[in-house]
């Protein structure tokens, strides 16, 4: 009886770790996707040179609107909302990195 309890406990721990690692890898992929999108967003307007302020305003408006939508779901957070939030965080991080590259 003790062995069956221990084996069930070990199986549940292995399953929890595996599902947690799947979730963490999905978050990392979402962050990298956001970083890639930020690189695309910052590269395209710089080709023309005169759309920088307008593109920046559009990006800030988009991320703030997305934050308002994401954080309005207080108790009903699903995996899709977490993925979209990770993409948004990746975009913001990518834009900061690009700004530091341009400033140096």
What pLDDT band is residue 98 in, cutting at 50, 70 and 90? confident
Residue 17 lies in a domain: no
Residue 6 clears pLDDT 80, i.e. is over it = no
Q: Domain of residue 55: give its range.
A: 23-103
How many domains does one find in the chain?
1
Q: Of 38, 27, 39, whose CA–CA distance to 60 is shortest?
A: 38
Structural domain includes residue 13: no
The tens digit of pLDDT for each residue in 18-74 reads 666 677 788 888 899 889 988 888 777 666 666 667 777 888 888 888 888 877 876
Tokens of 102: 């341009």
Calculated CA dihedral for residues 46, 48, 53, 59, nearest 10 degrees: -60
Instruction: Decide: helix, strand or coil at residue 49.
Output: coil
Q: From CA 2, how far away is CA 6, in angstroms rounded?
A: 6
What's the pLDDT at 86?
87
Specify if 76 maps to a domain.
yes
- Asked if residue 53 is part of any domain, the answer here is yes
Model confidence pLDDT, tens digit, residues 71-95: 787 666 677 778 888 888 898 898 8
State the pLDDT at residue 95.
84
Asked whether residue 77 is domain-assigned, the answer is yes
- The predicted structure's pLDDT at residue 44: 74
Q: Is 43 contained in some domain? A: yes
99 versus 92: the higher-pLDDT residue is 92
pLDDT level of residue 5 (50, 70, 90 thresholds): low
């Amino acid at each position: 009886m003790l062995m069956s309890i221990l084996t069930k406990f070990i199986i549940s721990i292995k399953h929890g770790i595996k599902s947690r690692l799947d979730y963490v890898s999905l978050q990392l992929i979402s962050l990298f996707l956001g970083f890639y999108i930020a690189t695309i967003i910052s590269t395209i307007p710089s080709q023309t040179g005169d759309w920088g302020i307008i593109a920046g305003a559009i990006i800030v408006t988009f991320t703030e609107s997305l934050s308002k939508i994401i954080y309005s779901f207080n108790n009903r957070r699903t995996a899709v909302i977490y993925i979209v939030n990770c993409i948004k965080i990746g975009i913001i991080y990518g834009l900061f990195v690009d700004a530091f590259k341009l400033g140096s």
